[in-house]
Amino acid sequence: MLKIFKSKEELAAYFSDYLYELNQKHEKLNIALSGGSTPKVVFDHLSLNYRDKMDWSKMHFFWGDERCVPPEDEQSNYAMTKHHLFSKITIPEENINRILGESEPSAEAMRYANLLDYKLNTSNDLPEFDLVILGMGDDGHTASIFPHEIKLWDYKDHCAVAKHPESGQRRVSINGQVINNAQEVVFLVTGINKSKKVKEIHKQTAGYMNYPASLVKPVSGNLKWLLDEAAASEIMD
């Protein structure tokens, strides 16, 4: 399913309401968050409009990926989420399962993989998130599976250590098997810089399978792409 919004603010409002619906329908939700900058508008909307409405005790947050930096580093996905959301709502500490960016990457990848096995339901011999939220880079990466390391999509463990193609920054990322084992996956993609890859992936132009984002096909079939008009500008008639 693909939905296009006039602005990222409208997308944020829609997705926040969707999260609230899930919150009302379930007793517990295990959610993998994405990082980067796109989620900020959603977290700001949630903290402003759902602070007292959402039953945050039902929400158990994980990350699809994290930069290998300390938790207070401005590059940290955890730090971004804490700044825009956690610092403004009341949520039990134990509901926040951050990837320890300050730890040695391969040791942390193993620890986090074990944590997922311990905390999440299992299906198809894999940990199962209720919801995985993803962004997409303008190179077609998702989580921290980049085109130059697309083999990590099928990495043997649930979590892999990836390397940013430009900066060389190490990342811990869940692999494609865990992503595709989620009950539901939602892409949040905004900005004109994403429009070319959005078109290539959605029109399945030559070589689109080289982009990790194109490999997201949850076995449940529940996949949503939420785009603003800028990101969707090359697929809109």
Sign (positive/negative) of CA torsion 108, 109, 112, 117?
negative
Q: Is 212 in the site for ligand 6PG (CB under 6 A)?
A: no
Q: Which is nearer to ligand 6PG, 77 or 183 (CB)?
A: 77
Least Å distance, CB 163 to ligand 6PG, is 13
Q: Are 135 and 35 in contact (CB under 8 A)?
A: yes
Q: Is 142 in the site for ligand 6PG (CB under 6 A)?
A: yes
Q: Are 138 and 230 in contact (CB under 8 A)?
A: no
Among 2, 17, 24, 37, binds ligand 6PG (CB under 6 A): 37
Residue with the CB atom nearest ligand 6PG in the bound state: 135
The rounded distance, in Å, linking the Cα atoms of 102 and 172 is 11
Calculate helix-pair angle for 39-49, 8-25, nearest 10 degrees.
Answer: 60
Q: Which is nearer to ligand 6PG, 142 or 177 (CB)?
A: 142
Among 36, 70, 71, 165, binds ligand 6PG (CB under 6 A): 36
Q: Is 81 in the site for ligand 6PG (CB under 6 A)?
A: no
Q: Is 34 in the site for ligand 6PG (CB under 6 A)?
A: yes
The rounded distance, in Å, linking the Cα atoms of 162 and 144 is 6
The rounded distance, in Å, linking the Cα atoms of 36 and 194 is 14
Among 132, 143, 152, 174, binds ligand 6PG (CB under 6 A): 143
Q: Which is nearer to ligand 6PG, 142 or 214 (CB)?
A: 142
- Residues near ligand 6PG (CB under 6 A), total: 15
The rounded distance, in Å, linking the Cα atoms of 209 and 237 is 24
The rounded distance, in Å, linking the Cα atoms of 185 and 2 is 12
Which residues of this protein are in contact with ligand 6PG, per CB under 6 A?
34-38, 64-65, 77, 135-137, 141-144
